[in-house]
Structure 1
Amino acid sequence: MNIREAVSADIPQMQVIRNSVKENILSDPSLVTEKDYEEFMNNRGKGWVCEIDEKIVGFAIADLREQNIWALFIDPAFEKHGIGRRLHDTMLDWYFSQEQHIVWLGTTPKTRAEAFYRKAGWQEKGTHGKDEIRFEMTHERWKRMKTGDHNS
């Protein structure tokens, strides 16, 4: 398993993964374009991919402009192998090395993603849009999570 910074050439494989997930499905995949990936990875933040045997099996993208996690998706065939957590931790380590502001994300209730973020220490802070849970992570909470102090 190799985690590395995403590059533009990775976008087609990232789109395949994004469009293959079983939860948080895009209602219209054409609404998220290659240019969107380029913008978020190269101008607004940074992205990472996970490769196994030179195949991209997951990716994550953080947006510094909106202090948001724009994407964290794993190929369904590679779920439950720790890939999401490795990408998540890499992304948050980078985010908080760049930024001290709270980072947030939205995800659909009653999904594996919701359980994942709760287990990773994110705190529910209301709703996002019309049907998503808004989660937030502070710099201080992330530092405590990394040191094993999950209760503070």
Structure 2
Amino acid sequence: MNIIIREAQPEDIPQIQIVRNSVKENTLSDPGLVTDKDCEEFLFERGKGWVAETEDQIVGFSIIDLKENNIWALFVHPDFENKGIGRKLHNVMLNWYFEDNRENIWLGTSPDTTAETFYRMSGWKETGTHGKGEIKFEITYHIWKNKE
């Protein structure tokens, strides 16, 4: 399976939504909560995003919010989990972010999930809670650069 990681484009949003609504953890209580317009705003006005693609199918994506120094999204379709796709998206995103930025970056994720384990193993530090019972994680420039 050949996975290509590339910058997200406006025409990717429908497939990004399919991936987002297929996940088994960190699900949306209402898929209408994240609209195509929201995706467009975070991808092209507030930040930047990447997609993982194989055979013209988007199987994962990540989006960074530069206004809030936040990982807005990092999701992989359940059929493509445990293949290193999330790791690739994560690394491309953080390498890009820390190229020109020294501010800590944060994210929130549900406790007792694969995502929680993934972020802990990736050097993220728990700093409290966020939203509705999510764990808030942060990573610094120095932790990221020393991890590589």
TM-score by length of 1: 0.94
Q: Which residue of 2 aligns with 1:6?
A: 8
Q: Which residue of 2 aligns with 1:50?
A: 52
AA in 2 matched with 1:53: E
**Residue ranges of structure 1 left out of the alignment (5+ in a row):** 147-152
| 3-state SS in 2 of match to 1:27 | coil
How far residue 130 of structure 1 moved from its aligned partner, in angstroms, is 2.8
How far apart in 2 are the matches of 1:90 and 1:28? 29
How far apart in 2 are the matches of 1:62 and 1:93? 12
AA in 1 matched with 2:143: R
Q: Which residue of 2 aligns with 1:108?
A: 110
Runs of at least 4 residues of structure 1 off by over 2 A? none
Percentage of matched positions with identical amino acids:
61
Q: Which residue of 2 aligns with 1:89?
A: 91
TM-score by length of 2: 0.97
**Residue ranges of structure 2 left out of the alignment (5+ in a row):** none
* C-alpha distance after superposition, 1:25-56 (max 9, x if no partner): 00011010011111111011100000112211
Aligned pair count reads: 146
How far apart in 2 are the matches of 1:129 and 1:5? 28
Given that 1:123 and 1:135 are in contact with CA atoms closer than 8 Å, whether structure 2 keeps it comes out as yes
How far residue 65 of structure 1 moved from its aligned partner, in angstroms, is 0.4
* C-alpha distance after superposition, 1:79-111 (max 9, x if no partner): 000000000000000111132110000000000
How far apart in 2 are the matches of 1:63 and 1:140? 20
How far apart in 2 are the matches of 1:126 and 1:112? 18
AA in 2 matched with 1:57: V
Given that 1:51 and 1:57 are in contact with CA atoms closer than 8 Å, whether structure 2 keeps it comes out as yes
